[in-house]
Amino acid sequence: MTDEAAGRIGAMLEEMSARFELVVEAVSGVAPRLDTLKREIFAQFAEVGGQIRFLSEQIAENRRGISAARGDLGAEIARIGEALGRTRVEFREEISGPPAGKPRTAEHRDAASGISLGDFKHEMSVASETAAKKLSAELKRTNAALTNLARKFDRFDDRITVQTRDQDQRIRKLERKRSA
């Protein structure tokens, strides 16, 4: 090997050494910033995970409240239906039977009231049937609306649960990578 070739190789090695030192300086300046960024990202993921867990707990609590309200409302609807049925029966019996303690004839009542008793009974019967049908229809509509609302809430809750589980899996995966 000649002196000239050895000189060129030496110059190239010195130049490569200088460039390597520049690369090492640049990388060593980035490493602390990357570590800081990594810690911030993990902290943010932990915060998001905590918030998702909190929301999941709130959703579960709301679901329990809705379930209890649904049960109470169902019991109340059944109680109102039973009361309506009893009232209907009592009203029919009251219209069809004579007043307590005062048995009168139809002519005597017609003369005292100025109206035909058969017409009055018929009108009252029709009015009570109409009112009962309207109330029954309204109860059915309310029950259907509650059922639809419960279904929508269940679907929403299912989506939130899936998203929460996915986020929990991502966080666990990141934590495993961090600890490894």
Kindly state the tokens that stand for 26.
């640049």
Please check whether the domain covering 3-179 is classified as CATH 1.10.287. yes
Return phi, psi of residue 59, to 5°: -65, -45
Q: How confident is the model at residue 85 (pLDDT cuts 50, 70, 90)?
A: confident
- Mean pLDDT over 83-96 rounds to 81
Residue with tokens 């309310």: 142
Distances (CA, A) of 51 to 45, 46, 134, 162, 174: 10, 9, 47, 15, 17
Domain ranges of the chain: 3-179
The mean per-residue pLDDT over the stretch 11-24 comes to: 86
> For 20-72, how does the pLDDT look when each residue is reduced to its tens digit (9 = 90+)?
888 888 778 777 888 888 898 888 888 888 888 888 888 888 888 888 888 88
Sign of CA pseudo-dihedral 53, 54, 56, 61 = positive
List, for residues 137-169, the tens digit of each pLDDT value.
Answer: 888 888 888 888 888 888 887 888 888 888 888
What's the predicted TM-score (pTM) here? Answer: 0.38
Q: Six-digit token pair at 32?
A: 């602390």
